[in-house]
Amino acid sequence: MKVVTDDGVTGVGDATLNGRELAVASYLRDHVVPALIGRDPARIEDTWQYLYKGAYWRRGPVTMSAIAAVDTALWDIKGKVAGLPVYQLLGGRSRAGVTVYGHASAATVDGVLTEVARFVKDGYRAVRIQAGVPGLAGVYGVHIGPGVYEPADAAVPSEAVWSTVRYLNHVPSVFARVREEFGPDLRLVHDVHHRLTPIEAARLGKSLEPYALTWMEDPVPAELQEGFRLIRQHTTTPIAVGEVFNSVWDCQRLVTEQLIDYVRTTVVHAGGITHLRRIFDLAALYHVRSGSHGATDLSPVCLAAALHVDISIPNFGLQEYMPHVADTDAVFPHTYRFEDGFLHPSEEPGLGVDIDEDLAARYPYRPAALPVNRLEDGTLHSW
């Protein structure tokens, strides 16, 4: 999204909602933009409340991504008007750089080790480990080719086959090899992608304890928040949740009952910088740290904004980082940078990212849906 003020100042925001993106585009174009014309761009909080309370229909990914796009653009504008990078408006630096984790994934364990070695060589201090599972044709989260990671791969959802038994039997051996090869200090995370039940997640967490993960992510679908208590009672493997959450109310119970360790909400899906900070402030009271989602379906505009939040909050944990492909980087010129395992936000006024609309026009929209998962007997399962 681009917001232009009467004074000619431009702000950008991300409104991406992978697989449901046109719904947000319509929400903005048909419902939000007409109401923004003539409003004071300096009133970020008031605009947030106006869009949130004014809609009457609260929360949800479409609404909150649309609000996020506007909110992010207004912070960009405020930074440009003030002549300051956005993180300075958020209270300034709390750390020297933003620690990121990269994605090491391959069909085989040997392939995973090769990938991890590459990240370690590039200075990464944290790596996400995803491996193929023997007996399963493909597993979501494992790269399908060099640098290619896009789960939304077809206009109609593609279908994969899942087996919890095969998965639970295999994963610990992958982490055993990684620890054997790279020692105890490299921080490791693993994404379960909502595929287990609480008692299965408890078993996984216990079996991974010897490998001291920084987190296991989305062990179960999070609609049933009390389910996390059962996982907690059985394992000290830390838990990260929140990439599909849109509001502080989605996280409230998990945070206040200390059922998770990292909250993975993002600028784009959780109502923008204004609301994300509210979530992280609540989390800080309960020893929960941030661990924001940063897959490549979140645009460089979102990543730029995330870095301003990450560098300024007291309870930062980790930031996911999958570099975008060169074509995407060219469409979104930016001045954040990676160095020695850290990302650094832009020092330019505002967010330090732009959208090159002429270049973007060279890539016409193609519908792409996220996949679905079925058990070996055909039952539809979480993917």
Active site residues: 140, 193
Count of residues for the chain?
383
Identify which of residues 48 and 262 has a Cβ nearer to ligand GCO in the complex. 262
Residue type, 333: P
Contact 97, 339 (CB under 8 A): yes
Q: Which of 78, 177, 190, 193 binds ligand GCO (CB under 6 A)?
A: 193
Q: Residue 347 corresponds to which tokens in the numbers above?
A: 């020092």
Q: How far apart are CA 188 and CA 180, in angstroms?
A: 13
What's the closest the beta carbon of residue 319 comes to Mg ion, in angstroms? 13
191 touching ligand GCO, by CB under 6 A: yes
Task: Answer with the entry of ligand GCO, Mg ion, none that 295 interacts with (C-beta below 5 to 8 A by kind).
Answer: ligand GCO
What's the closest the beta carbon of residue 320 comes to ligand GCO, in angstroms? 6
297 touching ligand GCO, by CB under 6 A: yes
What's the closest the beta carbon of residue 371 comes to Mg ion, in angstroms? 14
* Site for Mg ion, rule CB under 5 A: 191
What's the closest the beta carbon of residue 321 comes to ligand GCO, in angstroms? 10
Task: Answer with the entry of ligand GCO, Mg ion, none that 71 interacts with (C-beta below 5 to 8 A by kind).
Answer: none
What's the closest the beta carbon of residue 15 comes to Mg ion, in angstroms? 20
Identify which of residues 290 and 346 has a Cβ nearer to Mg ion in the complex. 290
Tokens 């949740």 -> residue: 241
Task: Answer with the entry of Mg ion, ligand GCO, none that 200 interacts with (C-beta below 5 to 8 A by kind).
Answer: none
Identify which of residues 115 and 348 has a Cβ nearer to ligand GCO in the complex. 115
Which is nearest to 302 in space by CA: 330, 342, 334?
334
Identify which of residues 242 and 341 has a Cβ nearer to ligand GCO in the complex. 242
Number of residues that bind ligand GCO (CB under 6 A): 10
Query: What 3 state SS string does 53-81 have?
Result: HHCCCCCCHHHHHHHHHHHHHHHHHHHHH
136 touching ligand GCO, by CB under 6 A: no
270: Cβ contacts below 8 Å, ≥ 6 apart = 64, 68, 242, 245, 246, 247, 276, 279
Task: Answer with the entry of Mg ion, ligand GCO, none that 297 interacts with (C-beta below 5 to 8 A by kind).
Answer: ligand GCO
Contact string 2-41 vs ligand GCO (x = CB under 6 A): ----------------x-----------------------
- Burial (0-12, 13-18, 19+ Cβ within 10 Å), 101: buried
Q: Which of 177, 190, 293, 308 binds ligand GCO (CB under 6 A)?
A: 293
Q: How far apart are CA 202 and CA 251, in angstroms?
A: 20
Q: Which of 21, 76, 320, 348 binds ligand GCO (CB under 6 A)?
A: 320
243 touching ligand GCO, by CB under 6 A: yes
What's the closest the beta carbon of residue 192 comes to ligand GCO, in angstroms? 10
Q: How far apart are CA 245 and CA 243, in angstroms?
A: 6
Span of 113-121, 289-297, 304-312, 337-345 interacting with ligand GCO by CB under 6 A: 289-297
* Residue whose C-beta lies closest to Mg ion: 191
Q: How far apart are CA 90 and CA 82, in angstroms?
A: 13
Q: Containing H/E element for 100?
A: strand 98-106
328 touching ligand GCO, by CB under 6 A: no
Q: Give ∠ CA 258-316-193 in degrees, rounded to 5.
A: 65
Q: Containing H/E element for 182?
A: helix 164-182
305: Cβ contacts below 8 Å, ≥ 6 apart = 13, 14, 72, 75, 76, 86, 267, 268, 272, 273, 351, 353
Which residues in this chain contact ligand GCO in the complex, by CB under 6 A?
18, 151, 191, 193, 243, 293, 295, 297, 320, 370
